[in-house]
Amino acid sequence: MEQYSFYIETYGCQMNVSDSEIVKSILLSDGMTAASLDDANIILLNTCSVRDNAEERVLNRIDTLHHILRKRKQNAVIGVIGCMAERLKDKLFDSLNAVSIVVGPDEYKKLPELARNALEGHNGLAIELSMEETYSDIIPARNSDMFAWVSIMRGCNNFCSYCVVPYTRGRERSRTVESILKEINLLKEENFKEVTLLGQNVNSYNDNGVRFPDLLRKIAEIIPEMRIRFVTSHPRDMSDALIETIAQYDNICNYIHLPLQSGSNRILKDMNRRYTVEHFFELIDKIRRLIPHCALSTDVIAGYPIETLEDHQATLDAMKHVRFDSAFMFKYSPREGTRAAKMNDEVPEEEKIRRLNEIIEQQNQISREKNEEEIGRIFEILVEAPSKKNVLEWAGRTDTNKLVIFNNKEKKYKQGDLIKIKVIRSTGATLFGEVINNN
Ligand code: SAH
Ligand code: SF4
Ligand code: F3S
């Protein structure tokens, strides 16, 4: 049998980053080898459908790749996997025949066979969603030996009115505690420094009555020397037990991503978020009471179809009230098949952009102020890599997930070191620190 090689490009959320490591493992176990884009026979794009511009980017990329491959001598095919594969299905096999493999998030085990067939000229489609598949039997081929993603559940049952994820990822299912702890123990043996637990809604984790705080506690006790992060928490199901667990364990990072989406109860209701802004504020108060210095980030959507100026102002007010450390801010993008996409969109495109910019401007100011408040504080940071701008300066992260740049001219510190720094300067996005210990 011919030896084939593959290359994977990843778009979208951390779930996709983690899935790409699973796909890599599946292909390697089949005897295929990892290669660069220039050398690979199988080029896979692991894709995202959450907003129109995410899909646009991939479609352009397919075009570019198709042109490159046509000029090549060696046999090569393009495959689309992930959320766009699930959403667009065989529509991705267009008249140009650019794409010849389409595989959804629950069918990755079929990839080796479908890829080989594609190289022999037969298109391959596998897009069934599963009630059970969690890939818990596959050890991901990780791209880092320091930071690990561990997916603890897949799918989403929430059906927020605007969101495509429940359609592309299917029904919610939790991995067994046993399989998760086995993977955590492996990471411990291999001296990983940080693990991020992944799920679209980790608070609804449930393995025969073992809930997310229980799981988190077990993990925290197995790896006291490792940092633990998780995403994403849905504000409706965030329990006191979870907040208490984070407060109780030093190795669970003091950082919570809690997507608000809108500050207007009318919009939250229409979005099917099933919490009120008052409930959200209570959660924030509880978090700040129990976990001092806990950093908070959020997601918000500007220009939801029925959003009035008053609703928009409520979002600005809520964000001003909470003062998130950072925020991911999006312009509403209609997704075919969702309830919101069928609604009459009363907010013109320019107005959506204007509202988004207003939200971004306010948040940038708050982020700058929040980071200024850190000046003079001492943090333990986990050293990551040389900074993007200057190789003599390195970057590390606080447990509150803030990036800190520090001087590493003498290369004293290496990836994975935990060092203490004092913050001396800041911008809205970054802290700058001085190392204050030498060991
Ligand atoms: N399960 C996670 C992440 C979902 S996708 C959660 O519930 O938080 C990440 C973010 O994308 C969402 O929080 C939302 O703010 C944004 N998003 C989802 N669908 C969108 C759409 N149709 N238009 C604009 N933003 C959207
Ligand atoms: Fe989408 Fe809502 Fe599920 Fe998040 S919780 S993935 S926003 S449906
Ligand atoms: Fe995108 Fe799918 Fe993640 S739609 S955000 S890649 S779950």
| Together in a domain, 171 and 292 | yes
CATH number of the domain encompassing residue 358: 3.80.30.20
**Of all residues in the chain, what percent carry a pLDDT higher than 70?**
99
Whole-number Å distance, alpha carbon 96 to ligand 3 midpoint, is: 26
- Partners of 405 in beta bridges: 395, 432
User: In terms of domains, do 104 and 223 share one?
Assistant: no
156 lines ligand 2 (CB under 6 A): yes
b/e map 154-181, b = 16+ CB within 10 Å: bbbebebbbbbbbbbbbebbbbebebbe
Last residue of a domain, one of 126, 161, 189: 126
Ligand 3 pocket test: pick from 50, 88, 163 the residue with the most ligand atoms within 8 Å of its Cβ: 50
The answer to the question of residue 43 being in a domain is yes
Confidence check: pLDDT of 321 > 60: yes
Ligand 1 atom closest to the Cα of residue 158 is 7
**Per-residue pLDDT tens for 72-130?**
888 999 999 999 999 999 999 986 789 999 999 999 999 999 999 999 999 999 999 99
Q: CATH code at 33?
A: 3.40.50.12160
Q: Is the distance from the beta carbon of residue 43 to the nearest atom of ligand 2 less than 6 Å?
A: no
Of the residues 320, 354, 372, the one at which a domain ends: 372
Are residues 325 and 418 both part of a single domain? Answer: no
Q: In this structure, are residues 18 and 151 in contact, taking their beta carbons and an 8 Å threshold?
A: yes
pLDDT at 97 (0 to 100)? 83
* 194 and 238 share one domain: yes
**Average pLDDT for residues 415-421, to the nearest whole number?**
95
How far apart CA 432 and CA 405 sit, in angstroms, is 5
Q: Which residues contact 189 (CB under 8 A, 6 or more apart)?
A: none
Question: Is residue 38 domain-shared with residue 186, that is, in the same domain?
Answer: no
Q: Which of 168, 169, 200, 202 to mutate to test the pocket of ligand 2 (most atoms within 8 A of CB)?
A: 200
Whether 16 is in the pocket of ligand 1, judged by its Cβ within 6 Å, is no
Backbone angles phi, psi at 318, to 5 degrees: -65, -40
Q: Assess whether the previous peptide bond of 232 is cis (omega < 30° from 0).
A: yes
Q: What is the mean pLDDT of residues 245-259?
A: 98
136, two tokens: 């818990």
| Token pair belonging to 184 | 């955590």
Residues 131-145: tens digit of each pLDDT? 999 999 999 999 999
CB 196 within 8 A of CB 147: yes
Residue 14 lies in a domain: yes
Lowest-pLDDT range of 93-97, 141-145, 264-268, 298-302: 93-97
Residue range(s) defining the domain that contains residue 395: 378-435
Pair (207, 107) in one structural domain: no
Amino acid 438: pLDDT: 56
Query: For the segment 17-56, what is each residue's pLDDT rounded down to a tens digit?
Result: 999 999 999 999 999 999 999 999 999 999 999 999 999 9
Residues 236 and 164 in one domain: yes
Computed on alpha carbons and rounded to an integer, the radius of gyration of the chain in Å comes to 23
Helices 309-322 and 349-372 cross at an angle (nearest 10°) of: 10
In terms of domains, do 101 and 212 share one? no
- Domain count of the fold of the chain: 3
- The answer to whether residue 11 sits within a structural domain is yes
How far is CA 425 from each of CA 49, 73, 368, 371, 432, rounded to the nearest angstrom?
Answer: 38, 53, 11, 9, 5
Residues 83 and 212 in one domain: no
Tell whether ligand 2 has an atom less than 6 A from the beta carbon of residue 340. Answer: no
Q: Report pLDDT for 243.
A: 98
50 CA distance to ligand 3 middle (Å): 6
The answer to whether the CB of 168 is under 6 A from ligand 2 is no
Average pLDDT over every residue of 143-149: 96
- 34 and 169 assigned to the same domain: no
Report the SS3 class of residue 325.
coil
Q: In what order do the strands lie in the sheet with 194-198?
A: 147-151, 194-198, 227-231
Provide the token pair at 185. Answer: 């123990």
* Per-residue pLDDT tens over the stretch 225-235: 999 999 999 99
- H/E stretch holding 14 reads helix 14-29
Look at residues 317, 347, 372 and tell me which one is the last residue of a structural domain: 372
Query: Has residue 132 been placed in a domain?
Result: no
Ligand 1 near 230 CB (within 6 A): no
Same domain, 416 and 360: no
Per the prediction, the chain carries an average pLDDT of: 96
Tell me phi and psi for residue 381, to 5 degrees: -120, 150
Q: How far is CA 108 from CA 20, 58, 129, 181, 395, in A?
A: 10, 19, 11, 23, 35
Contact 406, 387 (CB under 8 A): no
Are the CB atoms for 168 and 83 separated by under 8 Å? yes
Inter-axis angle of helices 14-29 and 111-119, to 10 degrees? Answer: 70
Has residue 439 got a pLDDT over 60?
A: no
In the reported structure, the alpha carbon of residue 185 is separated from the centroid of ligand 3 by a whole-number distance in angstroms of 28
pLDDT of residue 415: 93
In a domain, 28, yes or no: yes
Question: Which domain CATH number covers 422?
Answer: 2.40.50.140
Q: 335 CB less than 6 Å from ligand 1?
A: yes
Which has the minimum average pLDDT: 15-24, 89-98, 272-281, 336-345? 89-98
Question: What confidence tier does 389 reach under pLDDT thresholds 50, 70, 90?
Answer: confident
Q: Are residues 182 and 318 in the same domain?
A: yes
In this structure, is residue 138 part of a structural domain? Answer: no
Which residue blocks in 128-200 are alpha helix, DSSP H? Answer: 165-169, 177-189
In the block, which residue shows the tokens 């897009």?
A: 127
pTM, two decimal places: 0.96
Asked whether residue 389 is domain-assigned, the answer is: yes
* Interval between CA 50 and ligand 1 midpoint (Å): 7
Answer yes or no: is 133 within a domain: no
Which of 8, 9, 10, 15 has most ligand 3 atoms within 8 Å of its beta carbon, as the pocket-test mutant? Answer: 15
E strand map for 104-243? 124-126, 147-151, 153-154, 173-174, 194-198, 206-207, 210-211, 227-231
